[in-house]
Amino acid sequence: MTAAATPFSELMTKAHRDIKTSFPMIADEDRSITDLWATIMALSDCRFEIICHDNDVAGRLVCEPAATEFPMAIQLIDHYSEVISRPLQAANARLTLFLDRWVNSNGFLIIITRLIERGASHQSINDMAQRLAVAINDLEEQLRTLAIRHFNAVTPGSRFPISIRLRWSQFCRILGIGA
């Protein structure tokens, strides 16, 4: 993990440079092709925390350094905020991060197709996909650990899964008794 003192723009620049090194056939003006991979690689070098407000168990996911100027990073952070909050707001929800689905829905296959069209070797695509997989695993592990820590903080002392605790508290609320 990179120190928070490094601006997110520098993390993105480094990620784009790494991608450009692996795929020299991508012109500098084709950053849109590599933004997806660069965003995930940059976010995997960030630190995250969940900020809670009074009377709100869901909290808000915050990234350090801030990625406020990068729409794809903001979209992914918002996605994770929602995914992490869902089990605290719905009795049957599970913590499933689905970064692989997010990557696919945001153009992963388009990137691969363009790289093949531009002559990228199978090995270079495989190597970059492997680096992307490591970044995804790092990011998901960090967020999963953070989510579990957050769940335990907002529902202390319970040995039951969060969905059971929520259903019990909803049941008690309906009956007008303390949980």
Position 2 scores a pLDDT of 45
Position 126 scores a pLDDT of 87
Read off the pLDDT of each residue in 135-143 and give the average, rounded to a whole number: 87
Contacts of 41 (CB under 8 A, 6+ apart): 11, 15, 18, 19, 131, 132, 135
Confidence of residue 115 (pLDDT cuts 50, 70, 90): confident
Confidence of residue 43 (pLDDT cuts 50, 70, 90): very high
Please give the model's pTM, rounded to 2 decimal places: 0.74
Short-list 96, 98, 93, 97, CA closest to 165? 93
Do the beta carbons of residue 14 and residue 20 sit within 8 Å? Answer: no
Average pLDDT, the chain: 78
Read off the pLDDT of each residue in 114-143 and give the average, rounded to a whole number: 86
Position 29 scores a pLDDT of 56
For residues 63 and 10, what is the distance between their CA atoms, to the nearest angstrom? 15
Residue 38 clears pLDDT 60, i.e. is over it: yes
Q: pLDDT > 70: what percent of the chain? A: 73
Read off the pLDDT of each residue in 7-31 and give the average, rounded to a whole number: 83
Q: Where are the domains of the chain?
A: 8-175
